[in-house]
A and B are shown apart, each in its own frame.
Chain A
Amino acid sequence: MTAEATPSLVGKTDGPAGAGPSARGARARGTSGYPRYVAGKLGGAAVSLLAVLVTSFFLFRLIPGDPVKFMTGGRQVSAEQLAAYRREFGLDLPLWEQFTDYCGKALTGDLGTSYQFRAPVIDKITEALPNTLLLTGTSFVLYTALGIFLGTRAAWRSGGLGDRLNTGLALTLYSIPSFWLGLLLIIVFSVGIGPIPGLFPTGGMESGGEEGFAYVLDVAHHLVLPVVTLVAVEYGQTLLVTRSALLDEMGGDYLTTARAKGLRDDLVRRRHAVPNALLPTMTLIFINLGRTVAGVILVETVFSWPGLGGLFYQALSVPDLPLVQGLFFVFAAAVIVMNTLADLIYPLLDPRVGR
């Protein structure tokens, strides 16, 4: 325990001194500090998005074989028909022309036409996006709340039995492949083992034919197992980060002061320690949100959830180039946008961070 207390005291003494120069620097630059910071971050994000756009184009051109062959699925097709297909999807143009075409269209929101659905990629994505947002949004709120709650508990009584159990369980669940947990949950709660009947649907998002409030209930019923899976595999990381952030704060003099004032233990924790410890956790929370959107591929595949992840899996098995490209861009963009948001919000929350 002494090992934890000593360095944090050291950290406290060099904290203000370290913050000095950057604070002076901000004043010297005048009041334009934050707008300038925002402009820099937004510029960086724009460059990253552009880089992703370029990558998504070239990466998937590396797929060996002729995309038109995949489209026809090995059927006997005349040469004219193949040429017609090529023209339809712009594959007869030279690569660089395809590329400029692709970039120009992407800027106007046109991501091409899906080979397998014969529909605009952007339509398929906007169709699936709300479903993914419903799934990831619900799980995100739950696992963040659970992670912060349990992480705080674990750190406050660090080294105790509760801490060991909590951290151990979080690490174990973190090591479990999400798709495997999903499959097991389906077997136990949807198919049913022995005396346990199937309580939840095996997959999909709705049973069909329901309307109004019954429809909402039906979707919620379908939502339970995928959300449980996502929460179980994701909350561990939030727990561990919250725990270590709070442990860093534990030696703080201001906590001793708060206790000396006669505050109850859980007030010291809730009002004084946790708000400070949440600052580093905030960054992780945003990054997690972006990652959850991308990481949902497996859970959606296992539960046949009609979202972006399920669509990505379908597109991969063809492979449906424009759709794969479009989804790749959307997944990467989700992470970039969330990282940028975290960067933008962090200085507003923590004035010590140099603007």
Chain B
Amino acid sequence: MTTTDPDEPMTTPEAVSKAQVAKAGPRALARQRRRRSAARFWHRYGTHRAGLFGLAALGLFALIALTAPLTVGSGVQSVTDAPGRPMESPSAEFPLGTDQFGRSLLGLVVWGSRVSLLVGLLAAVLSVAIGALIGITAGHFRGWYATVMMRITDWFLVMPTLVLAIALATVMSRSLGTIILAIGVTTWPTTARLVRAQTLAVESRPYIERAKALGGGHWHVMSRHVLPNVMPLVLAQTTLIISSAILAEATLAFLGLGDPTVVSWGGLLQDAREAGAVSAGKWWYLVPPGIAIAVVALAFTLCGRAVESVLNPRLGVAR
């Protein structure tokens, strides 16, 4: 795909002269090549308006989450010294109103971003790490190992993800670790499939044979040759999975399977429902956490799609 790009000078390994190798050494050359391809990546990413919008939204939310201890402080979660009366409508003092304990909803939504983003990130990293590990090893080692691994992958693939995650969250104790584990363990199979296909494609190239002939072992081939080649795919996959992990976290929290001691967006929605905000028509209690979930999930999806289409222009993603 990358070689079809018209505005890129041909930099195939053959084009690199011996003199250059002598001057800079192979490591430096590899570094240079990576820097160039990263610059090319950003240049093309910049043409995706939706992707840039997603990135900006993510930056904003990351900033809100990181500065939350300074802006609202952890005291915002406290039920005992809540500043307002229960379920107040939005006012100058509480721009988004208050919850059933009289806590400021704005503060809670800001504070909740920390848990929602953290769980989303960690669950996605766990999921993609499992998927990449199984995908690369199943693509590298053929034979019974690959067969067994792909059978397991297929089996996880047919399980309804949400139902399995709910089941796992039910049987384990209520904590953030449980939620992360439940999401991570149920969402990896797609990544494993994609990474395995890419690994097979990379390993069929002649230079892998050369590396093996020069004495490169399994670890060398997988870490030095396969991994850098599947990394872009893994990156796109992570971005897309974070978005579904954030939705899954909200879902589990809404079903009452989350950690009851921390504030998260899904947990806020569950509180709202249990406090009767729905039947009382208090829409302003429900709107902010839901919008926060939707915006962050959408932002990650947009980024993921932009990355995907930079790597694979055939997808023709709308810009």
Given contacts A52-B159, A63-B171, A332-B159, whether A183 and B316 have CB atoms under 8 Å apart is no
In the complex, what residue of chain B is closest to A315 when comparing beta carbons?
B170
Q: How far is the CB of A178 from chain B (nearest CB, A)?
A: 8
In the complex, what residue of chain A is closest to B281 when comparing beta carbons?
A191
Decide yes or no whether A317 CB sits under 8 A from chain B.
yes
Decide yes or no whether A120 CB sits under 8 A from chain B.
no
Total residue contacts A-B, CB cutoff 8 A: 149
Q: How far is the CB of A278 from chain B (nearest CB, A)?
A: 18
- Point out the residues of chain B lying under 8 angstroms from A172, CB to CB: 294, 298
- Point out the residues of chain A lying under 8 angstroms from B170, CB to CB: 60, 63, 316, 319, 324
Decide yes or no whether A177 CB sits under 8 A from chain B.
yes
Contact A247 B50 (CB under 8 A): no
Interface size on A, residues (CB 8 A): 61
Contact A168 B50 (CB under 8 A): yes
Q: Kindly identify which residue among B50, B160, B269, B281 contacts A291, using a CB–CB cutoff of 8 Å.
A: B160
Contact A187 B290 (CB under 8 A): no
Decide yes or no whether A331 CB sits under 8 A from chain B.
yes
Contact A313 B255 (CB under 8 A): yes
Prevailing SS type, chain B contact patch: helix
Contact B318 A301 (CB under 8 A): no
Decide yes or no whether A167 CB sits under 8 A from chain B.
yes
Contact A51 B269 (CB under 8 A): no
Contact A298 B254 (CB under 8 A): yes
Q: How far is the CB of B200 from chain A (nearest CB, A)?
A: 16
Q: Kindly identify which residue among A4, A316, A331 contacts B255, using a CB–CB cutoff of 8 Å.
A: A316
Contact A294 B162 (CB under 8 A): yes
Contact B287 A177 (CB under 8 A): no
- Point out the residues of chain B lying under 8 angstroms from A332, CB to CB: 158-160, 163
Contact A175 B163 (CB under 8 A): no
Contact B160 A4 (CB under 8 A): no
Decide yes or no whether A6 CB sits under 8 A from chain B.
yes
Decide yes or no whether A188 CB sits under 8 A from chain B.
yes
Instruction: Scan residues 290-345 of chain A and give those whose CB is less than 8 A from a CB of chain B.
Output: 290-291, 294-295, 297-298, 301, 312-313, 316-317, 319, 324, 328, 331-332, 334-336, 339
Contact B316 A192 (CB under 8 A): no
Decide yes or no whether A200 CB sits under 8 A from chain B.
no
Decide yes or no whether A193 CB sits under 8 A from chain B.
yes
Q: How far is the CB of B201 from chain A (nearest CB, A)?
A: 15
Given contacts A179-B269, A192-B281, whether A335 and B290 have CB atoms under 8 Å apart is no
Sample (8) of A-B pairs whose CB atoms are under 8 Å apart: A8-B314, A159-B319, A168-B318, A171-B302, A184-B283, A193-B281, A301-B255, A332-B158
B-to-A contact residues, CB < 8 Å: 4, 50, 154-155, 158-160, 162-163, 166-168, 170-173, 243, 247, 250-251, 254-256, 266, 269, 272-273, 278-283, 286-287, 289-290, 293-295, 297-298, 301-302, 305, 313-316, 318-319
List 4 A-B pairs, minimum CB-CB distance, nearest first: A294-B160, A180-B290, A175-B297, A175-B298
